[in-house]
Structure 1
Amino acid sequence: MLVLRRVPWRSLPLHSPHPSTRSSVRGWRASSSSSQSESSDLFEFTNGNYLVSSALRLAERKVVFNVAELSRLAAQSVNRSPDEVASVTKNCETVYDRTIIITMRDGFKMEAHIPYHCTLPRYFATASKAATMAFLRTHGIPAPQVYGYAPDANNAAGTEYIFTESLRHNERLVDQWFYLEEADIISVARQLAQLESKMMSIPFPAGGALYYTDDLERVGAPHVPLPEDARFAVGPDSRPALWLGERAGMDVHRGPYKDAEATLLGPAENEITYLTQFGRPQLPVERIKRVAYKHVEQNPAEHIETLTRYRLLAPSLIPKDPDLARFCIRHRNVHFDNILVSRSSDGTLNIAAVIDWYYTAIRPVFLLSYMPYGFGDWTVPLSQVMSTPSNFDKSTDPGAEERRGDYQRRPVNHHYLEEVEKHNPLLYRCLEDSSVKIRHQLFWAAGKEWQADPIPLKIGLIEAATSWKSLRADDRAPCPIRFDMEEMCKTILQYQHGVKVMSEMSQLQLMCNISTNNYVDKCDFEAAVERGRILKQNALLDALRGDGQGMFPELIKDWPLDDFDEEGKVIGS
């Protein structure tokens, strides 16, 4: 029998919406004489490419490790001899890591998950993911079984890793979704609602992220042990925005948070500290947004002022019902690609496992109230959910296919919300409360890293101030923040211009067939490059004509598909 255990740290030297691919690539075989250099496919990102700053993005995802030592540690984690390892092959690459399949001579398979260098914070992201999966399994949540892990790269393999059971015999829900009968869709929605209810019913003494207590003590991180199982503890929030660049070296509190107010204030307080020490006027890092700001450098002092307003408002964002402010845990990114399914002998479609547990957070219920991607949109009224659009089957205009897709997703929204109402009423209360969305978006905007883009937080504060009665329905206290009419109008106009520019960017990405982070599948890369070249040429011609006609002429000065560095400067300029 396999034993669930961590690889003992004392045995090792001591020293974060890509599609995945299911096809294996050439790897390393124990019986061959292949050199380490011949195993480069294991180290490189080969699933696809990036249309923008490809060299930087691929370098961030290149992780070289000692294949033989990783194999030895993997075998050790399941009480096997290294001689039993038959092959090591790459299976898939996701947003945060690559999955290596380790196959034993008797056919037993296990997985090694290797995080990229850009998966931050390196130590806490890996440690928290491993502990979260192990803990949730003890509560009946079908997370992958963890055999061993190392959150530090200073070990024999030379990389962080997590060893888990192999679940590749199950199907990803995304591969079946569009062929399912309604009964199967209802069944999956019900099972997901039940799993989330079970998960969110687990009490926690503080907010942050979950770890093994030993891992936090080893690095001197603050923590609060779980009363019912002291092996685990709530420790610092692993949200990447809190650890980027110089932030990682700042002596600030990232959790555990004692209550909802501390959770709301913590990230904003840290960003004020960062901006005070390191902030400087600059153009928006996201080049597409420079158009919205008319190519004017943004001053961090203005953002500090906006964060200070948020700090005044934050205590008022806490719902009066204490049940909505209690700490719970929930998967941050459930979608069809992260749910594995199988069919039982009677034909029932079952959720076999939920994967990709990076950055799973412990927060108050109202800050974990969001719709799982693909299961609907809480902004769609029920009357629209069940209504058939006119000419549903006959329309052939350019937007018809997208409208049909939207309609096909609406029943999923309806079924999921019905099951949440039955099995997770606390979450349902939050999802049907429009004010929760305002609270949730403000929290994220206030904790986002400074990228010289202050409008999202400011527009959120304006919305909160103008929706004060809905936020504090039974409270006669005045709103603690104010905006004069001139500032509101200026901000709203900038926001509307930004929405227009982002809409143009979405069209550009759609025409190039790339994702929102400029990722494109390997087989489509050359075609995407050519489409991007033609679009830039046409935009340049439109800009030179100067009549305001054509597509994207105002984007040409900071063409969003040029290569640029982390500060938004064009590479080679």
Structure 2
Amino acid sequence: MTTFCRTIPFSSFSNSRLRPLEPLPLYFAIPSRTYIPIWRHSHSFKAHGFSTTRYCLSTSRPKSRRTSTEDLFNYTSGRFLYNENIRLAERHVEFNVEALKTAAAECVGRKGVTHLEKLAEGGFSRVFLLTMDDGFEVIAKIPYSFTVPKGLTTESEVATLDFLRSKGIPVPRVYAYSSKSDNPVGTEYIIMEKAPGKPLEECWFTLTPKDRVRLVTSYVDIETKLFSIPFGAYGSLYYKDCLPQNLQPGLYAPGMGDGVDGTGERFSIGPSTDYMFWRGNRASLDLHRGPWRNQLDYIRSIGIRELEWTRRFGKPLENDFPQNNIVKGKVDPKLHLDLLDKYISISPFILPEDRASPMNTPTMRHPADLTPSNIFVSDSCEISCIIDWQHTTILPLLLTAGNPPLFENPDSGPPKNLEKPSLPEDYASLPPEEKAYADELHRRRMLFYLYMVFNGRDNQSHLDALYYPLLALRQHLVTRAEKPWSGNIVTLKGALIRLVACWDQLIADRGQHMSCPVHFDPSDVEEFYQLEENWFKMNILTEHWLSLLDDLGQDGWVRNESYDSVVQLNQQLRREWVAEAEAEADNEAEAKEDVASVENHWPFQDHEEFD
């Protein structure tokens, strides 16, 4: 058994030796869009919180180990520790290879394709590189079978790329596409320009001080352009002619007409392509998926969506081990419904009431939380292209605000000021391994520092949002409300309790005092905090296991080269905790119950899924 496991007796999950997480990182005066921990290694994207093979589509993605035609249809860029048959089936897409080659050659005026290879496999799409007879290269992107909404995802991505190019945003040019599968290729596809420049991930760890400045300033310049677009509604972007008239609220805010460039004549905001509005059985529900003119309607629709799904399809669920030792047994979905009702009640107060408030400005940002894998740079390290705009949505500014992972604060606490970071005073005397760690930490601190400086200088609206009162609490509640029912009633309740506790500050801009529509009994709150602290401790344990298992993905993804060792280690961990359960039990009945708690609900094994 590992040393870490020995410090946590099975019957003592509230052991004080486990450092509890803060109930919520309230230091988010400068919030992030994605939390990235201090790294465990100095030259691994996975260890730095970046996934280089699962979600972002980059031309430097690991190649398949095999090159058969069947491999073009199958997922080969990794394995899945559990429910692998489901994950692989979702990613299996057959198509007419020759028809794809013909479509690609025709759309760029070439005679034919001499070479086709699988280039990348992301979270929702597979990407191919096609080389023409004269050496010209294009990219073909094909969505997986489980990618939803069907048709709309492709239509919106194509329109988004076209629109962004018209605004001077460096994105790939689309040559041809089909949003339907009844075509000679046999599937939806997009054929687009190969991104100019080199992937940022190739030089991410060797950026010079000048490179960092050019990277950050070019990125802030792009974001400033995005934030300045006066969209008139919330949802996703489409060509007007692919939307029914009743789903065309227009593109720009009132008084802007069709824009100085006439883009309002070609594009409109339509239904959201946010995956969660269409996932699984949600696609069959009668939901308001946008477009939304009012920010309060959008916030409310998130709660209604999960409320309706839970009412129709929710069933009692037991949490995975070890969380099932904090909230025991099967949890009734009615408890989750009650929390969603509370969310819906308080939802009119999460964002400013006035639609004209700058914090409600419809804002477009990259949907995949930018990493070095989906940014390309020039030789001078200025951004030359940003890829992977699938599922882009336009949201209220207050919900999109935050540092992208590229420029996240690598420290666990907020900076005391914006002083330029420096290396440790004893840097020269550090051993090589510690010096390498100090170098990497300093580099990330510098990127964070530069982003805050230039973002604050050039993008005032974003800066204002970053420092808006209760930003983190507002964002956290919305994020928790949109999570599907899983048996977890802790995180949503915690988010509600914290925002309710700040009620007076939440309504400070309303001009009049009003009673909070949500109430929690003080004794219940005190008891909840005790339960939540133990829940967080179990999260720490789970995160530790994930790190041991080669930074296992939330869907069980693991690198091909690590799969066998991860399988063995997972089995070892499970056996050790079963043995721990038996050893800690006071009697045979208790041992049987504790063993079942581990064996039946081990988090990294095949299990039934509910969508």
Normalised TM-score (structure 2): 0.80
C-alpha contact (below 8 Å) 2:227/2:461 kept by paired residues: no
Q: What residue identity is the alignment partner of 2:103?
A: L
Counterpart contact for 1:257–1:263, Cα < 8 Å: yes
The partner residue of 1:19 within 52, 72, 76 is: 52
Paired residues of 1:272 and 1:304 also in contact (CA < 8 A): yes
Q: CA deviation at 1:338?
A: 1.3
What SS class does the counterpart of residue 542 from structure 2 fall into?
helix
Aligned to 1:563: 606
How many angstroms does 1:555 deviate by? 4.8
Deviations 1:279-337 (A, max 9, x none): 332234x666434422x222222222212211221121223671111212111211221
What is the alpha-carbon distance in structure 2 between the residues aligned to residue 424 and residue 527 of structure 1? Answer: 47
8 Å contact from structure 2 (residues 64, 77) kept in 1: no
1:221-236 mapped onto 2 (5 Å cutoff): 222-226=247-251, 227-228=257-258, 229-236=264-271
Q: Could you say if the C-alpha distance between residues 144 and 287 of structure 1 is closer, same or farther in structure 2, counting changes exceeding 3 Å?
A: farther
The 5 Å alignment of 1:201-280 reads 201-217=228-244, 222-226=247-251, 227-228=257-258, 229-280=264-315
Aligned 1:184-203 pairs, distance under 5 A = 184-203=211-230
Distance 1:494 1:398 in 2: 39
CA distance in 2, matches of 1:270, 1:223: 22
Deviation at 1:55, TM superposition (A): 2.0
1:143 to 166, 171, 190: 171
Structure-to-structure mapping, 1:30-69, within 5 angstroms: 38-69=68-99
The count of aligned residue pairs is 529
Is 1:351–2:378 an aligned residue pair? no
- 2:565 partner amino acid: A
1:462–1:483 CA contact under 8 A, matched in 2? yes
CA distance in 2, matches of 1:490, 1:147: 59
> C-alpha separation between the residues in 1 aligned to 2:498 and 2:76?
43
Q: Please give the alpha-carbon distance, in whole angstroms, between the structure 1 residues aligned to 2:509 and 2:190.
A: 49
Contact preservation (8 Å) 2:62, 2:77: no
Partners of 1:362 and 1:305 in 2: CA distance: 29
2:521 to 481, 484, 500: 484
| Alpha-carbon distance in 1 for matches of 2:393, 2:345 | 24
Match of 1:302 in 2: 335
Q: How far apart, in 1, do the equivalents of 2:570 and 2:246 lie?
A: 46
2:542 paired with 1:505: yes
Distance 1:392 1:381, change over 3 A: farther
Structure of greater relative contact order (alpha carbons < 8 Å, 6+ residues apart): 2
Task: Give 1:451 shift.
Answer: 2.3
Q: Structure 1: which amino acid aligns with 2:582? A: L
Q: Deviations over 1:58-117 (max 9, x none)?
A: 221111111111112222322444xx2212111111222111111110001101011112
CA distance in 1, matches of 2:429, 2:330: 49
CA distance in 2, matches of 1:221, 1:393: 67
Q: In 2, Cα distance between the equivalents of 1:105 and 1:483? A: 69
Please state whether the residue corresponding to 2:155 is helix, strand or coil.
helix
1:290 partnered with 2:333: no
For residues 336-347 of structure 1, what are the structure 2 equivalents within 5 Å?
A: 336-343=372-379
Assess if the C-alpha contact under 8 Å between 2:326 and 2:531 holds in 1: yes
State the Cα distance separating 1:124 from its structure 2 match.
2.2
- How far apart in 1 are the matches of 2:189 and 2:293? 31
Equivalent position amino acid for 1:512 in 2:
L
State the SS of the aligned residue for 2:130. Answer: strand
2:577 aligned with 1:539: yes
| SS across alignment from 1:134 | helix
1:410 aligns with 2:445: yes
1:373 correspondence with 2:405: yes
Map 1:69-80; keep pairs closer than 5 Å.
Answer: 69-80=99-110
Q: Equivalent of 1:100, from 113, 116, 128?
A: 128
SS of the counterpart of 2:268? Answer: strand
Deviation digits for residues 12-53 of structure 1 (CA, Å, limit 9, x no counterpart):
xxxxx652353555898xxxxxxxxx4111111111111222
Identity rate, percent: 29
Larger displacement relative to structure 2 (559-568 or 453-462): 559-568
SS at the partner of 1:315? Answer: helix
Secondary structure at the counterpart of residue 114 of structure 2? strand
Matched residue type, 2:416: S
Amino acid across the alignment from 2:218: Q
Q: Which moved more, 1:413-422 or 1:266-275?
A: 266-275
**SS of residue in 2 equivalent to 1:383:** coil
Distance change in 2, residues 1:265/1:396 (3 Å):
farther
How far apart are the structure 2 equivalents of 1:471 and 1:146?
Answer: 44
Note closer, same or farther for the CA distance 1:276–1:400 as it changes in structure 2 (3 Å cut).
Answer: farther
Distance 1:391 1:151, change over 3 A: farther
Given that residues 506 and 516 in structure 1 are in contact (C-alpha distance below 8 angstroms), is that contact kept between their aligned partners in structure 2?
Answer: no
Task: Tell me how far 1:360 sits from its aligned partner.
Answer: 1.3
CA contact (8 A) 2:423 2:439 kept: no
1:115 aligns to what?
143
Q: Which letter maps to 2:324?
A: R
Is the 2:578–2:598 Cα contact (8 Å) retained in structure 1? no
Give 1:485's aligned amino acid.
P
Query: Equivalent residue for 2:360?
Result: 325
More moved, 296-305 vs 333-342: 296-305
Taking the aligned partners of 2:246 and 2:609, their CA distance within structure 1 comes to 29
Q: Does 1:516 find its partner at 2:553?
A: yes
The alpha-carbon distance between structure 1 residues 297 and 401, as it changes in their structure 2 partners (threshold 3 A), is farther
RMSD: 2.9
Alignment TM-score, normalising by the size of structure 1: 0.85
Query: How many angstroms apart in 1 are the aligned matches of 2:62 and 2:204?
Result: 20
Counterpart AA for 2:331 = Q
Which has the larger displacement, 231-240 or 430-439? 430-439
Q: Which runs of 5+ in 2 are unaligned?
A: 1-49, 54-59, 252-256, 259-263, 587-593
Name the counterpart of 1:526: 564
Range with greater deviation from structure 2 (144-153 or 418-427) = 144-153
1:461 aligns with 2:496: yes
Instruction: Give the Cα separation in 1 of the matches to 2:515 and 2:529.
Output: 23
